[in-house]
A and B are shown apart, each in its own frame.
Chain A
């Protein structure tokens, strides 16, 4: 390649030492190059050593790890053997690191502008005045709203996606030679992810900077990387250009990673739940429910979150609840579980009205509704053995003790595909995916009728997450438990749920069978969500941004409104005057499919047809656009 070689990793080896001093290799001889203006993606599951390798560019290892061999050369000079003072110049000077969570990176007590310019000034690359000017240019380049004044604000005054972009400004301010981006979009929901990816891509191109992009998400990598390195357990499985890896993978492991990329949500994906479990009455239902935080005044919550929600879950069915962060998904599950008392409305289990407050529900009712927490790390008591964690609901609800209990624990462990010997372990001795299985197993142990799963796959990487979904599907088939499955990831929900509820700003904007919801006509918000799911195709990001709903929807954020349709400010089809003031009526379509919108069915279909014409335009340009289907 003609471009200048910037950074070179040669046979890098990094190891940890356990208590007995036995060497545990973490990175086993990895070599790759980065040229100027090139984005290299390191991809692999958790534990593949991708973050460890990327940190080597800063001559840094996490505590307990040691460089045991190889070189990491910046401009031909090995950073690993440099004197500490030289390394200090590299860190934040030549090489800038962007951590996964911007929220945890920014100091809440210092203005954004000060933090963005700090390292550039500290390293003497710019003086304060130049740095402030440069930061301002970057804010504009990153398309931050109110760019001229954003530097004067504090971190909590901007949204998560904006903070993530500001972190890029922080990294780029001192014009580093190399940026290290560690999973910068993983914790974001799809619409925010697009906003951040778009800004990163633009600024990387404009600045012609080189970057190491660490992620487990192939679809994201396809949008941003020039070169891809596939890692497994500290070894390179395959490396090549983005086009090669995405379109013509040769190694079996790469293909495996591809499979784990969740298919795009499309109509026809929904599973129709086994009819065997169907009963006449709904299993759990919420009616006209309004809930929020901060106490209740005059029958209205002080901080309203959910408004007039009607959702019902049939026996043995899976209802997926989707929406962006903050739309009230978790609140809905918490109300069902009794953790939050609704201000108004009823929760009905098997035809009987449930008490809103947890302490007023009886043991039988508690046992039938089980909540599965998002983070297995915090949901499992670190001081209890797995056997006790799973055994407790058995004892508590079903009175099992002694040998009977042990046998049942082993049985449940088998159900979640873990060895029975795990009963004698502590949660800390398990991996993330295994902990999530235990988390599910504890809920299963109660033999519930409804399991409320709150983002159970969000913290897991794609292969492990896919395994958990597979497990959930088999559990549903085996036990007939109904699920409320909450996720911000539409493709996960689509692959598992037979009904979908789309929440936006605390209201249900669309609900119905998965096949119907994923098939036109869509509520404009549903369409925004569907169009935002990244596709494993180079150039997808540019294509999708040409879409009308994306241009409006991505640029603006959620505004909670008391009246009218909450989505109107991001809706490309909003009717001026009507949508702001009137609560949208519910359009009743076939099979219980409902859309809350002022537009008529014909309008929505027309919008679909318009999108269709754009699709034809793309085809002329040689693109295909598989997300719109002709009914």
Chain B
């Protein structure tokens, strides 16, 4: 009654066991290839970064030039030149303002987000690793800042110190560092209770090794995913401040204030508010898609393979 399946010979099976063939010897290929979504997004981000550099020199007009008499004109070519994307509420060329504004919008928000991350991660991981009074102290100060409405806080700081680009960056960085801190601390605490951290501690490793080699590499991917999202918030924050007249000072352009300033044009069928909105959307979405693509690639596919 005993049946035997002979598709694999007994000797083969035993040989396999003896050769310690739990997994093949050659390591699986660790590809770090982006999907097409990743490539397209990278192209979009690269495009905007290039515009940041060369934008002003390829713009058909200066950002401050007010051409003609009518506001909210559709795309046309006339006596003053070609307006490929029409004009805005002060009859300035929309295309030129977008090209000029890239520098302000992307530059300020990238710088602010990066600084926010630097502060947030450093303090967050420190609080998670050290715990005790250090954690308590930093966390309560952080809670206090978090409790204030961001725009109000921004308004007060800028009202007190005046509006300049460094102050704008600094304000946005501090405000957004609070949420980065919370995420970094939570991630850090989860990682700190892992066995491999305890293993490092029993080995006698110092705090910097634990932060650098054990905690940070494991927190990096979730933090990077959050980076894309945080960047969008900062763009919107700067835009809100600009709209209130405390951000980028007119007549200098930035995408956020362009959207807000031209909103009224929508009722006249003008696209002047749509173009800068698309510019913000294309940049922030592209950043998010790249991050998603990398995080999915680095964990997802290998995990699937191991099933």
**Chain A residues within CB distance 8 Å of chain B:** 16, 18-19, 28-29, 47, 62-65, 232-233, 235-241, 244, 250-253, 256, 337-339, 358, 361, 363, 366, 370-371, 373, 375, 378-384, 392-393, 396, 417, 419, 421-422, 424-426, 428-431, 433-434, 442, 446, 463-464, 467
10 extra A-B contacts, CB within 8 A, seeds A16-B304, A434-B22: A232-B13, A240-B2, A250-B2, A252-B13, A339-B198, A373-B195, A396-B203, A421-B26, A424-B27, A429-B27
Decide yes or no whether B69 CB sits under 8 A from chain A.
Answer: no
Decide yes or no whether B159 CB sits under 8 A from chain A.
Answer: no
By Cβ-Cβ distance, the 5 closest A-B pairs, closest first, are A383-B217, A431-B22, A379-B195, A240-B2, A378-B195
Decide yes or no whether B147 CB sits under 8 A from chain A.
Answer: no
- Cα of A18 to Cα of B301 in the assembled complex, Å: 8
- Cα of A325 to Cα of B120 in the assembled complex, Å: 41
Q: Mark B231-257, 1 if CB is under 8 A from A, else 0.
A: 000000000000000000000000000
- Cα of A463 to Cα of B218 in the assembled complex, Å: 32
Judge whether B196 and A379 touch: CB under 8 Å: yes
Judge whether B196 and A366 touch: CB under 8 Å: no
Judge whether B303 and A428 touch: CB under 8 Å: yes
Judge whether B196 and A378 touch: CB under 8 Å: yes
Judge whether B3 and A371 touch: CB under 8 Å: no
Decide yes or no whether B302 CB sits under 8 A from chain A.
Answer: yes
**A-side contacts of B25, CB under 8 Å:** 419, 421
**A-side contacts of B220, CB under 8 Å:** 383
**B-side contacts of A464, CB under 8 Å:** 22
Q: List 23 A-B contacts (CB under 8 A).
A: A16-B304, A16-B307, A47-B22, A62-B307, A63-B307, A233-B8, A235-B7, A251-B4, A252-B11, A253-B14, A370-B202, A373-B198, A381-B214, A384-B213, A384-B217, A392-B203, A417-B20, A419-B25, A421-B27, A428-B306, A429-B28, A430-B23, A464-B22
For B305, the closest partner residue in chain A by CB is A18
- Cα of A250 to Cα of B3 in the assembled complex, Å: 10
- Cα of A355 to Cα of B171 in the assembled complex, Å: 48
Decide yes or no whether B205 CB sits under 8 A from chain A.
Answer: yes
Judge whether A433 and B3 touch: CB under 8 Å: no
Task: Return B52 CB to nearest CB of chain A, in Å.
Answer: 33
Judge whether A363 and B202 touch: CB under 8 Å: no
**B-side contacts of A431, CB under 8 Å:** 22-23
**A-side contacts of B304, CB under 8 Å:** 16, 18-19, 64
Given contacts A65-B307, A244-B2, are A425 and B27 in contact (CB under 8 A)? yes
Task: Return B7 CB to nearest CB of chain A, in Å.
Answer: 6
- Cα of A251 to Cα of B203 in the assembled complex, Å: 47
Judge whether A238 and B23 touch: CB under 8 Å: no
Judge whether A240 and B3 touch: CB under 8 Å: yes
Task: Return A364 CB to nearest CB of chain B, in Å.
Answer: 10
**Chain B residues within CB distance 8 Å of chain A:** 1-5, 7-8, 10-11, 13-14, 17, 20, 22-23, 25-28, 30-31, 194-196, 198-199, 201-205, 213-214, 217-218, 220, 301-307
Given contacts A381-B214, A425-B27, are A339 and B202 in contact (CB under 8 A)? yes
Given contacts A236-B5, A237-B4, A419-B25, are A378 and B194 in contact (CB under 8 A)? yes
- Cα of A325 to Cα of B194 in the assembled complex, Å: 21
**B-side contacts of A467, CB under 8 Å:** 20
Given contacts A19-B305, A373-B195, A382-B218, are A434 and B1 in contact (CB under 8 A)? no
- Cα of A467 to Cα of B196 in the assembled complex, Å: 24
Judge whether B27 and A250 touch: CB under 8 Å: no
For B302, the closest partner residue in chain A by CB is A428
- Cα of A94 to Cα of B3 in the assembled complex, Å: 29
For A252, the closest partner residue in chain B by CB is B10
- Cα of A235 to Cα of B9 in the assembled complex, Å: 11
**A-side contacts of B194, CB under 8 Å:** 378
Task: Return A141 CB to nearest CB of chain B, in Å.
Answer: 33
Judge whether A379 and B307 touch: CB under 8 Å: no
Judge whether B10 and A251 touch: CB under 8 Å: yes
Given contacts A64-B307, A373-B199, A378-B195, are A235 and B217 in contact (CB under 8 A)? no
**A-side contacts of B5, CB under 8 Å:** 29, 235-237
- Cα of A34 to Cα of B79 in the assembled complex, Å: 89
User: Which of B30, B195, B204 lies in contact with A366, CB distance below 8 A?
Assistant: B204
User: Which of A28, A363, A370 lies in contact with B7, CB distance below 8 A?
Assistant: A28
**B-side contacts of A252, CB under 8 Å:** 10-11, 13-14
- Cα of A379 to Cα of B204 in the assembled complex, Å: 16
**A-side contacts of B14, CB under 8 Å:** 252-253, 256
Judge whether B202 and A366 touch: CB under 8 Å: yes
**A-side contacts of B22, CB under 8 Å:** 47, 431, 433-434, 464
- Cα of A555 to Cα of B304 in the assembled complex, Å: 44
Judge whether A363 and B204 touch: CB under 8 Å: yes
- Cα of A373 to Cα of B202 in the assembled complex, Å: 11
- Cα of A232 to Cα of B4 in the assembled complex, Å: 12
**B-side contacts of A65, CB under 8 Å:** 307
For A26, the closest partner residue in chain B by CB is B307
**B-side contacts of A422, CB under 8 Å:** 27
For B3, the closest partner residue in chain A by CB is A239
- Cα of A463 to Cα of B205 in the assembled complex, Å: 35
Judge whether B218 and A381 touch: CB under 8 Å: yes
**A-side contacts of B205, CB under 8 Å:** 396
Given contacts A16-B307, A381-B218, are A393 and B203 in contact (CB under 8 A)? yes
Judge whether B217 and A337 touch: CB under 8 Å: no
**B-side contacts of A62, CB under 8 Å:** 307
User: Which of A16, A18, A238, A379 lies in contact with B3, CB distance below 8 A?
Assistant: A238
**A-side contacts of B3, CB under 8 Å:** 236, 238-240
For B26, the closest partner residue in chain A by CB is A421
**A-side contacts of B11, CB under 8 Å:** 252
Task: Return A61 CB to nearest CB of chain B, in Å.
Answer: 10
- Cα of A361 to Cα of B25 in the assembled complex, Å: 40
